[in-house]
Structures are given as structure tokens and as C-alpha cells.
Structure 1
Amino acid sequence: MSAQRFKSLNNDEIFTVRGSVTEKDTRKPIAKVNIEVNGGAYTTTNIAGDFRIQVKYGDELIIRHKDFNTIYYTINSRERIDVIVEPAITSSSVKSKYKSPKQFNALIDSALVYLKSDAEKSIQFVTEALAESKSVKQNSEVYEVLGDVNAYWKQYDLAISNYRISLNNVQTNEVKLKLAKAYELNGNYQESIELYNSLEEPELSNWQITTKYEGLADVYLKTEDLKTALNTYKKALEIAKDKKLSPKITDLNSKIAQAYEKMGATNLAESFYKSAMSLASQQSKKRAVEEKEKVAEFQSKNNAIEAEIALREEVVKDVQDIEKDSIISNDSPITIQKQNYKIGTAYAMQNDYEKAIPYLKKSIEVAEDKEDLVIQKDATRKLSEVYRDAGDYNKALSTAKVYERLVDELYIKKEQEIIQAARFSRDLANKQNRIMSLENERQLAESKYQLTAERNKRQKLVIYSLIGGLVLLLVTAYFMFKYIKQQRLANNLLALKSLRSQMNPHFIFNALNSVNSFIATNDERTANKYLSDFSTLMRTVLENSEKDFIPLEKEIELLELYTKLEHFRFQDKFDYSIIVNDNVEVEDFQIPPMLLQPYIENAVWHGLRYKTEKGLLQIVVSKKTASEITITITDNGVGRARSRSLKTDHQKKQKSTAMNNIKKRVNILNTMYKDKVDVFVDDLSNAQDTGTKVVVTLRK
């Protein structure tokens, strides 16, 4: 491979750097991290935590996110940047490491390092990376890098193939842009245009949007659609200016100048060339020199010889400074030998042979030193012509003989380069085939594995069928159990409804007896007032009759109204009080409706009514625990034993029915709601005529 194929890494060259951002402890990728070049490009990490951004050596990368402190990193190589962060709340704030922890990433980075200097070594690293690949994402990256190698070494057909394989694995806009450019360079102009146009702008970064329109304009320029090319370049320039993409602004001014030049609009072309040259001077010396050379070439085509010579002399001085730090390839248009050759040619066009000869000699000398046989040959031929035109035929003849020798040398060298180029293309193709073979072998291994897995699957099918049958039986049993449970619940609900329906007529009957007694004593006004309160009470009772539980607050209101009515009738028999302790949060508890009323009714009708002196009915709601309260109903009536002795057989039967109904309701509710209610009835004391105590415990 000839030395001309190797290019040194240049500090002013813009390239794409890959990277990722992950959390240290969990190794989870962090999406939507802001990645910005100081004063340049901007992007964010994707859902996998990966990013790509256009940079050059010496740029400062700023990495920002709300969950960690801002990180600053200076670009000093093409290697992948793996940022591992700790949350900002940790004591060490942020720890970031720039390393390639995985073998795969290290191989990809090595391939990128050798991409422009040693294609074979770069492809070798790509091959090894493919062997390490564990996912379609990594496969996609392998073929993208392989496409980059092919594209750089001008094997555009191979580049197209590899970019397409990369996209078959994972669709990324970056690779689509590369594929569109490869199509253009390979002469597939329509495919390039279609692919560029298929890219949706909302999915692209600002840099990618600008690159899309710049690439489209390049294709239009090559297909001689100059008007469309110019308009597309201008659209790209508007975006670049709006997003402050300085490198793109310079490049697009230069390309617009080229489009105007092709259209014959010399003045406009010159204006944009000068603008590009001014912008390039604000970036790097190499970029400024490249733009000066373009403007000098433009001046040469338009016979502005003096302006051309002045610019080329500036280029020579600038290149001498640049070459102190880096090597400029002979393929570059800004080499010193080329500039001296063109300055000498420009002076020759003015017939200023005295000035032309030193520049041509200098060009030959530098070209020989740098083994640039093409420029050495061209400058020698031109020097011979200058000697001839100046009348120095002897020097013209001797120089012409040197020229003939150089032509022969160049012919031999070109033959060798053609052979080397063919061998190089063949080697790349062989390596490409080797990579494809490795991929096919891996796919075959995967197929064998799948066949084995399928056979094992069939063997396990019988076992799974048996297990499935067992599961089906269990599921059937579960649904049968659930059905029985639902039926039991339905029966309980029906029983509750039946018991509630039995409670209401009993309560209404007693209340109507009270009204009847008022009417019988000709106390019409009292009867009307009693009926008014009774109707309110009945409406509340009927509203709650279909519910299993009501808020305790409502039950207390109902009890207050009911006790008021009973006291209204038996004012001379008892007084009453309803006390709710302050530490009881009434709104947190619920109670079955009409649960307490029968106990109050019994206290009045079967205890307090038979006392000779005035009795006391007391209802107290108090807190027992954080999740339990007690409702205590006490009366100092005649007591349960004496009450039974005073009642008729019919009355005893009615009491027993009411109490049994309450007991059944409590049992059913506790079965349904896990021991929510507890009722305890006892004598207030063992002495005669000392009353009854009912304690109802209610849980949340």
C-alpha cells in the first residue's frame, strides 16, 4: 500500500465520537442527558443511554442532567466515552470514568483509531468485535464501522452493503445519513435523494437536519440541477445559522459559492467565497487555508492573477506553520509544492518568466522531497515551457528530458498503484466475505441451537400437558370454591335483608302504639308533633334499610331522634343522655343500621317503664383502641329478671324474637366482614331493680 494512502490525525478535523451515560450502582442507562460541545454541536442520549456528536480534537464536551452534577471532558482521542455517574445526592457528588469496560467497545474503538491509517488492521478489529457481539444493537454498530472503513477508502459499494446490514439490525438516522452519502459517492443519485427525503426532521438533531439538506444539495449539484442545489444549500445555511453550527456555516457558504460559480454568477460566487474565507479564519488555520485555496482557484479561473498569487503566497506561509505540528498528505490541494507550482504557472501566464522560474524550481524541489511525482512532473514540464518561451532553449531541452524521465517513472508508479489498489480492493472484499462467513456461521449455530431447543420442547410437551391438566383441575376447583363462596354470600345478603325487614315492622308497630295513646288521651297537638318527628325518623330508617353498614354518625343521629320520641312519651319515667367522647373519630367507623335501636327500645319498654321512680338511660360512645370503639347502653330499670316476671307470655315471645334477630344479624355480618361487631349484654349489678348494660364493640 502506498504512503499516499495514509493520513495523519489532524487536530482540526471534525469527526463523530460515540459514548454512553450509565448509573454507577445499577448500570442502568440514563436517557435524555444533554450532550453539548462548547459553542458547537448538541445532542441527547437515547433510551439506551447512547449518544453521538460531531467534535474535533481539543473540544470541551459538556454533559448535563438533572440527576447528577455537570461533567466537563476534553476530547483528546476518537475513543468511545463511557460516562459512569453517581446520583448528585451522594457524598462524593459525581464520579465519572472514561473507559471501555467491555471487550466489544474496546475492539470498536480500536477499529476507529486505525480507520484512516490502516484499513486491514481496522477491519481485523471489526471482525473480532463481531465475534464478541451479543445483541442486534452491537451487530448494527459493527457493520456501521465496517461501512465507515469502506467509505473512507472509497469502496463505496461495500460501504452501501454494510450500512444496509447495520440498518437491518437497528434503524438509526446517523447510519441513514451515511448510507445516503455513500449512495451519492457511488453514483446512486436517485437512491440518495429518496433516502435523504425519507428522514423525518422531528427525529433528527440540528446537526443531522443540516447534514440532510447539505447532502441533498450535493446530489443536486452533481446531477446539474443547479437551481435546486442552490436553494437547498441556502435552506441548510438558514438552519445552521439559526442553530449556530459554525463549521456548517463555513462549509455551506463555500458550497453556495461553488453553485453560483457553476451557474456563471461570478459576483455572487466571489461574495460567498470571501464570506466562507472570513468565517474559516475564525475556526482553525487549516480550515482557513483550505478556503483560501478554493478562492485562489476561483480567482485563477476568472484571470484575477494578482489576487490569486497573493492568496497562494499566504497559503504557503500558513501551510509551513501547519506542517510543524502535522503532516499534510500529498493528496491535499494545499501542499506547498502545489501552491508553488500554481504561483509559477500564474506568473508564466503574465509572461513574467523571471518570477515564474524560482517558484517552479521550488515546487520541483519540495515535490521531490515529499515523493510527489505528479507535481514534480507537472512543474518540470511547465519549467521547460517557461525556459522555451524565455528563449533559453538549452535549459528548455535539458528540462524536457528530465520531464520525459519523470513521465516514465510516473507511468511505472501508476501501474504499481493500480495493482496495489486492485489488491487492496480485493483484500477488502475478501475480509468482507470473511466477516459475512462468520456471521453466517453464527446464524447456523443459532439455527442448530433452535433445533435442539425445539426437540427439547417437544419432549417436554407431554410433561407440560400433564401439568396443564393438573392446573386445569385446580382452576376448576378454585372457581367451584369461588362459586360456592359467592352463593354463601348471596344467601347471607338475603338473610340480612329478611332480618332487616322483620325489624322495621316491629319498630313501626311500637311507634304507632305511642301515637295511638296520644290520640286516645285527646292530646292532638302532642300527637301531631310526635308524628312529625316520627316521619323524619321513618324516612331515615327506610333510606338505610337496604344497606349492610351506614356511617356511625348517621346511626347516632337516628338514635337521638328515636330516644327523643320515646322520652317524649315517657317523660315521667326516665331521662336520657347520649355522650360521644372527644377522642372518638366518628367518621372513621360504620355500623349496621338499626343495630342499637332494639336495645334502647328494650331498655325503655322492658326496664325503665316499670320503675316507680324516674330512671336514667345513658348511651356512651368511647374509644377502646386505635381501631376499636365501644357503644355502651345502660339503664337503671328493673333489670332483665324482674322484667321477664312482669311480662305476659306473648310479650316474652316478642322480645325473644327481636333479640334473636339481632344475634343472627351480628353473626352473619361478622362472617362476611371478619368479626367487625361484638355485642355483650349483662345486668348492671346483681341487686334487684338495678337495670341492664349492653356493650357493642365496633371495629374499623
Structure 2
Amino acid sequence: MKLLVKYISFLCLLFCTSFLLAQERNDAINSEKRFTVRGSVIESDTNKPISNVNIEVGGGAYTTTDALGEFKIVAKKGDELTIKHKDFETVYYIIEDSERIKVKVEPNKIEEYRSKLFKSKANTQVFKSLIDSAEVYLKKDAKKSIQFIADALKDSRSVKQNSEAYEVLGDIYTYWKQFDLAVSNYRISIQNRTSNAVKIKLAKAYQLNKNYQESLSIYNEIDKKQLSNWQLVSLYEGLGDVHQNTKAFDASIDAYTKGLEVAQKHLITPKITDLNSKLAQAHINNGELQEAQLRFSNSLKLASQENKRRGVEEKVKVADFQNNLNDYSSEIELRKEALDDINDIESDSVFDNKSALTPQKQNYKIGNAYALQKDYGNAITYLEKSIEEADDKEDLIVQKDATKKLSDVLRDAGEFDKARIAFENYISLLDKVYVKREQEISQAARFSQDIISKQNRILSLESDRELSESKYQLNVEQARTQKLIIYSLIGGVLLLLVTAFLMFKYIKQQRLANNLLALKTLRSQMNPHFIFNALNSVNSFIASNDERTANKYLSDFSLLMRAVLENSEEDFIPLEKEIELLQLYTKLEHFRFKDKFDYNITVDENINVNNFVIPPMLLQPYIENAVWHGLRYKKSKGRLDIKITQTKPDEISIEIVDDGIGRKKSKSLKTEHQQKQNSKGMGNIKKRVSILNAMYKDKVDVFIDDFQNKEDTGTKVVVTLKKD
């Protein structure tokens, strides 16, 4: 009997896991439906083809346009195509099928910044002080640092100072990952005064902004003979990074090797370590694992000679490599050494939760390695440490992942009760992660708006300065200057309109993505909750030693589970499928409580059930509440009626009526824990209805009231469903 109970509990966990894996399988199936998309990029006014345009499918394939402006790239339906080039605004396009795409763009006419000397002498001391202040706050407060640059530009009296100010402004934006703004300011710096150091920074910013062809162009046009040894190493390293991003691994290895040779020749120790590490990663991507292992061995030895933090960073990289090689013992040993080093330097260094050097991440990976070795005791210990540290440091991502892994390990170790508790904690953490991500998106949007606002003010300051300077020009140029200002204003308005449109489009897409994620999260909570509740009936039959009845019940229950899992990925399913699911579920509940109620399901003959769709698992919780919280406690035998009638040509009404004890009396019988659980389950239904109505324009309406004015008031639920 005990073995049978454990087996049923294991099935429960298996069904929950199968639900999550089903999502991954669907994603994998969709990812296989790929096709080749052909297209071209041309100028809208002249139809002239544009070559070397960066074409990328979100995080996947990458290519460029040829001399005729044409391209081919592999993608699937729903992918977002990103089209980038230095001379026009980035274009985003959602792929629907294998149609041929023609992209017409309007190249920006980049105004050349004139390099002129001012007649007045520069206040060098004030300018230098402001630049120093901007650099001090560069990593602490972006807005304050940018304000110092704005003040410095007001006091600038030479093109050299302008160039320096815009270079530092580019450094600020690079650090805060605003790479498009960094590109703009580095270009302005170079236009004021040419500098190889700034060109290298510009090429790096292009690479980080995924403008790979522009980055390669800048790197290749730099005269290597004019560079210092450090700059030459940085150039080769940057070339290697671009080739790595474009999956040209042989070219990446060649560039890194050239940089390493220069660094070794001139004893540039930090770069020697970095390039060994990057070469190792390039060899891994190129399938050369033996060479990668040799490079990692070198970088690990060199990093340990620099400082403890650099040594820890390299140990973590090598540990990840050992994991890829399935050498879990070496991985565990390295991560434990890294943990000891992290504890030593943690008091002097600040590690945010995004860093790979946090104790919670290393404990999680150690626990994962032990789990892969099937050493469940050590795996559980380190995973619990990871969860505890992640909770202390409010690292929800690691806490969620470690909790899910702990549930899997406990299940594999045969501790099914603990595994179930861990899995319930994991589901709870998913909600918190979703809320946190919404907050982070909102904060990022506000930060980006503030940064853009300050950048616009700086550009406005530059425009005002040039306008003031133009007053000293001859009167014959006045008409041309006025015309230029008018064109600039018109261009500014158009640019603002385009920016507003793109922001509106982005916000709309982001809102849709957030709603889909919310629905997915709510469904992932409803299914395990439903499965665990339904299995209570099986446990009841087992407890009464009625194994034959339990087996029959479990057989019908498996059919119900299959239907639930098949429908779990859909926002809406045909009404016919939902009716079949309700009939099967109600049959099972009546089988369990034959002496408590009779039921009847009536469908209006005039309804074409194939013309209506309904959110899956919407009605089942109301029927479950009617049985478990209303009819089950009724002293006499009750009745459950489910009626589906057509009230309008495009609208049907679904009534779920029971003559049980009613909501008020049922609530008074519940424990505090039961009240919380019910509130959460019904709350999820309300959230789903609210989100679906927002996405599909008030498609579903739910009304709940007492059924009758008697001692057993009963409950009446009316669900109104509209046709598309």
C-alpha cells in the first residue's frame, strides 16, 4: 500500500514536469519550421541598393547585404528581423512567411561638425575640472556625469576640448549600455578631432550595438603603424570579438592570436590573460576542445598571478568549460576554490546579482554538478545553500532555478513529499520573478527616457553654440543659415514623430509579450493545482483499500490529464473540447461523491459548439468549488446543473448551479490555510479573464451570486462567452 501511495505521488510530480517540458517541446518543434527569407535594402528616393547592411534574426542567424543590396537569411514565422546600418535608423520587421522583402529606407544626412577655433581664450582649468568630475561619477550616477559634460561643453573653447567632452560622453553611454548613443558621440568626437584611440572605441561601440560591418570597417581603416602597443592589442582583440559575434571563428582565432603575440612581445600582462581566455572560447565554438583546454590552462595560471578577483573570474570560466566536457569532479573542485576566494574578497568588492561571481550562483552550479554525478546528498546541501544565499541577497532568478533543481534532485532521490514542497515553492517564485521583471522593464524605460532627454539637451546646446557662432559670418550667408535652421527643425519634428511611432510600437509589443507571459505563468499555476486536487480522490480510494475502484478512477483520470495537457498551451480552445473535458471531470467527481449529489449537463441543440471558443480550464474550478465546498457539506443529497444556452447569435451563456451550503457558510467552515489557497485559485481565474478581455476586447464575462433564498443558498455562476 505504501509503495502505491509513493507511486501515485511520483505520478503527480511527473505530470507537473511533463506540462513544463511540453512547452519546451513545442518551442523545439516551432524552431524546426524554418525557411529562407530573401530580400533587398534600397534607398527610398533613388532606389539605389545599400551594401553591408547588418541583417539579424533576434539572437540567431546573421548576414549582410551584397553589392546589389540583396540578402538571404534562415528564419521562422514570428521572428523579428533587425536591419541596421550607420546611415539610417534601425528597421524592425516581423516575418510572417517566406515572402520576398523589400526594405526602403531614408539615409540620414549626417551634418559635418566644423572644426573651428574660437577667438576667445579657453578657460582650461574649469573645463578640465568638469571633465574630471564627469569621469568620477561615470560608474556611479549616469545623469550627474552627463550633466557635468553638458556644463563642460558650455565652457569649451576649442575643437580639441569638444572632442574630449564627446569622447567622455561616449564612455558614459558605453558603460551604461546605451550603445547607439555611444556611437553618435564617438563620431562627433572624431569629427571634431581625429583620434585612433576614439576610433577603436567607436569600433567597439558599433560591435556592442551589433553593427558588425561598420565595426569591421572602422578597425580595418585604422593605420596600425600609428598605434601604441596597447592600442594595437586592443584593435586585434576587437576584431576577434566581431568575428566571434558573426560566427567567423577561424578569423576570430587569427585576430586573437595576433593580439596575443603583440601582448607577449611587449609584456602586456592583463591582455595576455584576456586573450588566452578568449582564444579558449573561440576554440570551443570552433570544436577544438583540446586547444581550448590548453588555452584555459594558460589563462588560469596567468590570472592567478594578477589579483584574486581576476583569478576567480577565470576559475569560473574554466569550471563552465569542465561542465561542457562532463568533467564534473574537476568542475566541483574549481568552483569550491572559487567560493573560498569569493568569500575572501567579498568584503572588499561589491558583486551585484548579475555577476557570475556570486556565492549563490556558484553553490547552485556545484549542486547541479553533484546532481549530474547522482550524488544527491551533496547536491541537496549545496542547492539549499544557494537558495538561502539567494534569498538573503534577493536574487530571485537564482533562487527560482535552484528551487526547481532541488525539486528535481529530491524527486530523483525518492523524497517525493519534499520534492512536491520544493516544486510548490518554485511555482510561487515564478510569480515574484514576473513582478520583478515588470518593475525592471519600467525602470529601464524611465532611465532610457532620462538619458535620451539629457542627450537631446546636449545636442541642442551644440546647435545653439553653432548658431551663435554663425552670427559672426558675413551677411551673404544669413539667408542660407536661416534655411538650414528651418530644415533642421523640420527634420527634428520628423525624427520625433518617427521616434514616437517606434516607441509606441515597442510599448505595444512589450505589453503583448507581458500579457502572454502572465497567461503562461497563470496557466502553469492552475494545472499543478488542478492535478494535486484531483488526485485527492485517488488517495481516498487507496485509503479505503478499494484498489480496483482506484485503478478504474486513475484510468479515467489519465484521460482527463491528457486532455488538460493538450489544451494547456492555448489561450482559447473550441467549446466542444471544453464540454468533453467538463463531462469527464464531473463524471469523476460524481464517482467520488455519489451519495452527495446528482448532476446534469445540458447543451442547447441550436448551439454550434464549433463556432465558439473558450479559455481552457476556465469552468473546471467553478465546478470543483461547487462539489468540494458546496455539495460535499450538504446534509441531504444535492444537485449540480450545468446549462449551456444561446442568448444572442454571437453570444452564449454557461450556467453552473448547485444547491449546496453556499459561499458564506462554506467560507466559515474553512481553515485559514484553505481560505488562502482558494483565494489564490479564484484570483488566478480573475487575472486570466482580465488579461484575455484586455487582449481580445471583452470576450468573457463571469457573474457569481447565491442560487436560492433558503438555508442552503447554493451558488450560481454565469459565464457569458462572445464569438470572435
Give the TM-score normalised by the residue count of structure 1. Answer: 0.50
Larger Rg: 1
Give the TM-score normalised by the residue count of structure 2. Answer: 0.48
